[in-house]
Amino acid sequence: MRTNLRLAGTAAAALCVIGTALAATSATATAAPASLYAPSALVLTVSYPGGSTDTAARAVTLSCAPGASGTHPSPAAACADLRKVEGRLDSLLSTTPGQVCMHLWSPVTITVDGVWQGTRTSWKHTFANACEMNHAVEQNSLFSF
C-alpha cells in the first residue's frame, strides 16, 4: 500500500513539473507580441574601387524601426531623410550645380544594403571623385558618416 502511495505521489509530482514546464513554455511563446513595425536595418559603406580589393573604407549600421539606432553618427536624422523620400535613395542625391570639382577620376562608391520597411534593398552609386560625392550628399544626413 505504501508503495502504491509513493508511486502515486511521484507520478503526481512529475505531472506537476511537466504541467509547470508546459505552462511556462506556453506563456513564453505568447508573451512576445509580433512587432508593429516593418524591419528597417541597413549597412551603409563608402569604398574606393580600383585597388587590389574593393574593401569598404567606412561602414555604419542604421536601424529605423522601432526607433533610430546603429553606429551611424546621426541615426534619427538619417532615418528622417529616408522616410522623407520613402526609401528612394536616388532622391537623396543633389543634382543642383554649385560646387566646382576637378575632372579627376578617383572613384568613390557608396552602397546601402539591407531591409527598408520590410523590403530587401541593395543600392550602389559611384562618383568620379570624393568632391563630387560630397557635393551630391551634402544636403542629407544619411551619407554623413
pLDDT, tens digit, for every residue of 29-56?
444 444 566 788 999 999 988 765 567 7
pLDDT at 103: 86
pLDDT at 110: 94
Confidence of residue 81 (pLDDT cuts 50, 70, 90): very high
pLDDT at 32: 43
pLDDT at 124: 94
pLDDT at 50: 72
Which of 34-38, 80-84, 140-144 has the highest mean predicted lDDT (pLDDT)? 80-84
- The residue with greater pLDDT, 76 or 35, is 76
What sign results for the dihedral spanned by CA atoms 7, 11, 12, 13? positive
pLDDT at 18: 36
Tell me which amino acid residue 36 is: L
H-type helices in the chain, by residue range?
Answer: 2-31, 75-84, 130-137
pLDDT at 38: 76
CB 39 within 8 A of CB 67: no
Q: What does the pLDDT average to over 17-38? A: 47
CB 140 within 8 A of CB 81: yes
* Residue 98 pLDDT > 90: no
Lowest mean pLDDT among 44-58, 90-104, 110-124: 44-58
pLDDT at 96: 74
